[in-house]
Amino acid sequence: MKWSEISIHTTQEAVEPISNILHEAGASGVVIEDPMDLVKERESVYGEIYQLNPDDYPDEGVIVKAYLPVNSFLGETVEEIKETINNLLIYDIDLGRNKISISEVNEEEWATAWKKYYHPVKISERFTIVPTWEEYEPVHSDELIIELDPGMAFGTGTHPTTVLCIQALERTVQFGDTVVDVGTGSGVLSIASALLGAKTIKALDLDPVAVESARLNTKLNRVHENITVSQNNLLDGMKAPVDVVVANILAEVILRFTDDAYQLVRKDGYFITSGIIHTKKNQVKDALTNTGFEVLETMVMEDWVAFIAKK
């Protein structure tokens, strides 16, 4: 099959919403070329493998690339993507150069194109994310390893919004807990919860591709007996009090279900929210407080914010 590569030169702030737009338009995977990745301080003592080539990165801004199958709808799809990206300006999202280009790649190139950017990364005190195709020897005996093949779903585990969630889970999840993961993507947060000792986890996503990817990854990590993956809109139909609800979704989406999360979480339980761009921080914080949650912690990484809220 022929694939078309759509390449968007934008800003760090716009990466997340543009990635979502590309996924929703049916893109089969997203590659992010952020020059910040080249200068980030790394804790090399932990033995991660970094093989980043500066030639692959822009001098300024960020390039988001996605792959679309070449078919008779391609023209319309690209126009729709351009229009939806331009609409982000309404939300005051800086699009930078907003230069969009298209080129053709064959399936073989596409299958490996994004993998070269993805290597084992130690993302928190305890967790290291390891792509399934890499060999990795744990450096510490108490290190927790998440093996991932995100495939077409969001969630390589290394995006700041995901890292913040995993760090928040480390601080909240107790042995035997019940966790609901809203917008599970590759399943990474559910897998992290299971490795931290949660007993019953519900991993939910609207996107059937994510559901499939999460199912595969829960098996790869041998935690599938604790995790039920289902296609579901937000918290629709969820009952029984739970200890932790975690959601790494855009701020606009979080605002839609803070009330449902409050109903679902038991007293003294937690609601972890991430995916919040800095400019939307107060809006989400106010919504959490107005619903009845107490915001215990505000965590920040690059332009992203996450909250640990308690009922």
Residues in 60-79 that interact with ligand SAM by CB under 6 A: none
Helices 188-195, 160-172: inter-axial angle, 10-degree rounding: 30
Please tell me whether 96 is known to bind a ligand.
Answer: no
Q: What is the DSSP string of 28-55?
A: S-EEEE-THHHH----GGG-------GG
Note whether 249 binds ligand SAM by CB under 6 A: yes
Which of 210, 264, 305, 308 is the binder for ligand SAM (CB under 6 A)? Answer: 210
Note whether 185 binds ligand SAM by CB under 6 A: yes
| Residues 260-299 as x/- pattern, contact with ligand SAM by CB under 6 A | ---------------x------------------------
| Torsion angle defined by CA atoms of residues 206, 257, 264 and 205, in that order, rounded to the nearest 10 degrees | 10
Which of 162, 178, 193, 226 is the binder for ligand SAM (CB under 6 A)? Answer: 162
Note whether 204 binds ligand SAM by CB under 6 A: yes
Residue with tokens 């005996």: 141
Vertex 215, ends 158 and 255: CA angle to 5°? 60
In 3D space, the residue among 194, 142, 147, 8 whose CA is nearest the CA of residue 85 turns out to be: 8
Q: Are 271 and 251 in contact (CB under 8 A)?
A: no
Sign of CA dihedral 54, 188, 194, 180: positive
Which of 64, 207, 243, 287 is the binder for ligand SAM (CB under 6 A)? Answer: 207
DSSP 258: H
Query: Smallest distance, Å, CB 190 to ligand SAM?
Result: 8
Note whether 218 binds ligand SAM by CB under 6 A: no
Note whether 5 binds ligand SAM by CB under 6 A: no
Note whether 12 binds ligand SAM by CB under 6 A: no
Please identify, using beta-carbon distances, which residue of 143 and 212 lies nearer to ligand SAM. 212
Q: Interface with ligand SAM by CB under 6 A: which range of 141-149, 154-162, 172-180, 278-286?
A: 154-162
Query: Smallest distance, Å, CB 301 to ligand SAM?
Result: 13
Tell me the CA distances in angstroms from 223 to 180, 192, 215, 249, one per residue in order. 15, 10, 10, 23
Residues in 77-136 that interact with ligand SAM by CB under 6 A: none
Burial of 145 (0-12, 13-18, 19+ CB in 10 A): middle
Which of 183, 226, 305, 311 is the binder for ligand SAM (CB under 6 A)? Answer: 183
Measured in whole angstroms, how far is the alpha carbon of residue 30 from the centre of its chain?
A: 12
Please tell me whether 183 is known to bind a ligand.
Answer: yes
Residues that bind ligand SAM (CB under 6 A): 153-155, 159, 162, 165, 182-185, 188-189, 204-207, 210, 233-234, 248-249, 253, 275
